[in-house]
Structure 1
Amino acid sequence: MLLVVGLFVIYKAGRQLATGHTDEAYHNAHLVWDLERAVHLPDEGAVQSALLHSDTLVHVANTYYAVVHFPATVAFLVWLYMRRPAHYVWARRVLAALTAAALVLHLTFPLAPPRLLTAAGLVDTGQMYGPTVYGAKPATDEMANQFAAMPSLHFGWALMVATGLIAATRSPWRTLWLLHPLLTLLVIVGTANHYWLDALVATVLLGIALAVIHLPHRTETTAVRTRERAGDSVQDMPQVIGAGR
């Protein structure tokens, strides 16, 4: 718990260090927007238009953006710590590396999100429909730096949660965990908090972290699970003995 809270505090503090670069953030936003159009990426407005068909759907998307990101990551790490300790160490290191790399980009490439970019023509769904985690004016927002859109740690953390759960479990349905980053992607784009490229850069950074920080060896994880099963067997012995009597 302290680890995740520490990462979150460092992340927030780092974002605050990147404040005060308004002109550069909007300049970079135009560059990103024009680049996406040049390479024919889908228009973020198409996702938002689908959300705007229903006030309830927009509210759900805003709520997902505001409350799922951090608790889902905490739950993921707690479960790994309790049930897959070898995978926990691996996931902890990957998340720390991803967050550190993201902070570097936040400081070196301030970026206004599409909801603040007039050329994008998108709606700030958080302000219009609620709930929102940002202040109405970026310059006076003391809780968050709104010019730290790239990369999207909402998406990066969600993708790592899915990757970690797929790696640590053996269920034939485990690939369904990918629905979490997919839904997160639609939410961050539909609410106009991020560009497609923000998620793409987060994916690249996560891929680099995963390439450098390797999964625990199968022998190590097998030994851990053997000890877990042995512990369960010892706990069950009194019940078996009682049943025999």
Structure 2
Amino acid sequence: MRLGGSNPRLQQRIEQARIELARVWRASAGWLPHGWGDALLQLALFAGAYYAYRLVRGHVDGEVARAFANARAIVDFERALGLFFEPGLQAWASSHRWIVEAASAMYVNSHFVVTTTFLIWLYIARNEAFYFVRNMFVVAMALALVGYALLPTAPPRFMPEWGFVDTVADVFGETAQRSASALYNPFAAIPSMHVAFALMIGIPGALLVRNRLLKVVWGLYPLLVTLVVLVTGNHFWLDAALGALVALVSALVARAALARARPDAWGWQTDPARAVS
């Protein structure tokens, strides 16, 4: 049966709409480096990672006791090293209300907004470098899933007995903490993917932009994110260090393994003329 039945005018309007949509589709593909097909493929890869996170979350949410035991083990480890400074850092920040508010606002917004905006810019404006960075993200997310499954860990904000405060909830309310990331997992402290993501966009950003001020901003971005996750009570410094390790391992795998498999497509490139999808 033809859509529109025997109404010629309706059929004509449907055909005109189809032609117009096809024209818009072709025109919009002009500003995409490799058309809509490749762009949708990249979106599908990140969407797949999202659902993998959801599956792991369903497993981890049932291990509350284990998550708190792991968090207490981190406290004991840091105290043994004489480096359990997070409560003091948060207390210092709390004496300066603007620091707490700024850090909480950045925690709620930066992980998703800054990362997504950078990846979109990278794909459109510096596509030759996108696939290497994408591969780093894929490897990092896989490593994070392993960490979350093997070491579910409660964040410091769940441990008021040590003087920790949930600054995000205090400033924005309880729901803000859950909306801080589309990949919310209450016991996903190890590794800190806030820090891993910040490194995986901060270093490429500093290498790719030409403006000196922007190079400094991107270079300092991972340090700022690390300070934010500590001040807000969402990670221990050990979580942050393990997040940095994940970023390092992901870069090494992307360079030593994946880039060798497809050097023209997946290698770190800064020359647009050599880019191959």
**When the two structures are superposed, what TM-score results if normalisation uses the length of structure 1?**
0.79
Question: Which protein has greater RCO, CA pairs closer than 8 Å, 6+ apart?
Answer: 1
2:274 aligned with 1:209, yes or no? no
8 Å CA contact 2:128, 2:274 repeated in 1: no
| 1:16 equivalent among 58, 78, 88 | 58
Q: Judging changes above 3 Å, is the alpha-carbon distance between structure 1 residues 118 and 169 closer, same or farther for their aligned structure 2 residues?
A: same
Q: Judging changes above 3 Å, is the alpha-carbon distance between structure 1 residues 69 and 144 closer, same or farther for their aligned structure 2 residues?
A: closer
**Structure 1, unaligned runs of 5 or more:** 136-142, 227-245
What is the DSSP-based 3-state SS (H/G/I as helix, E as strand, rest coil) of the residue aligned with 2:92? helix
What is the DSSP-based 3-state SS (H/G/I as helix, E as strand, rest coil) of the residue aligned with 2:112? helix
Equivalence for 1:167: 207
Q: How far is the alpha carbon of 1:222 from its aligned partner?
A: 2.6
Q: What RMSD over aligned residues (CA atoms) do the two structures have, in Å?
A: 2.6
Q: Judging changes above 3 Å, is the alpha-carbon distance between structure 1 residues 121 and 97 closer, same or farther for their aligned structure 2 residues?
A: same
Q: Judging changes above 3 Å, is the alpha-carbon distance between structure 1 residues 186 and 28 closer, same or farther for their aligned structure 2 residues?
A: same
8 Å CA contact 1:66, 1:131 repeated in 2: no
Q: How far is the alpha carbon of 1:67 from its aligned partner?
A: 1.1
Equivalence for 2:218: 177
Equivalence for 2:141: 99
What is the DSSP-based 3-state SS (H/G/I as helix, E as strand, rest coil) of the residue aligned with 1:148? coil
Equivalence for 1:47: 89
8 Å CA contact 1:155, 1:184 repeated in 2: yes
Q: Deviations over 1:44-103 (max 9, x none)?
A: 123212321233432221111111111111111111111221210000010111011011
Equivalence for 1:88: 130
Larger Rg: 2
Does 15-24 or 168-177 show the bigger shift? 168-177
Q: How far is the alpha carbon of 1:220 from its aligned partner?
A: 5.4
What is the DSSP-based 3-state SS (H/G/I as helix, E as strand, rest coil) of the residue aligned with 1:192? coil
Q: Judging changes above 3 Å, is the alpha-carbon distance between structure 1 residues 48 and 86 closer, same or farther for their aligned structure 2 residues?
A: same
CA distance in 2, matches of 1:220, 1:117: 45
Equivalence for 1:233: none
CA distance in 1, matches of 2:84, 2:274: 44
Q: How many residues align?
A: 220
Q: Deviations over 1:164-199 (max 9, x none)?
A: 212333444424312211111111111111000111
Q: How far is the alpha carbon of 1:219 from its aligned partner?
A: 9.9
**Structure 2, unaligned runs of 5 or more:** 1-42
Q: How far is the alpha carbon of 1:157 from its aligned partner?
A: 0.5
Identity %: 32
Give, as a single letter, the amino acid of the residue that structure 2 aligns with 1:134.
Answer: Q
CA distance in 2, matches of 1:19, 1:102: 16
2:192 aligned with 1:149, yes or no? no
Q: Judging changes above 3 Å, is the alpha-carbon distance between structure 1 residues 130 and 210 closer, same or farther for their aligned structure 2 residues?
A: same
**When the two structures are superposed, what TM-score results if normalisation uses the length of structure 2?**
0.71
CA distance in 2, matches of 1:114, 1:28: 11
What is the DSSP-based 3-state SS (H/G/I as helix, E as strand, rest coil) of the residue aligned with 2:177? coil
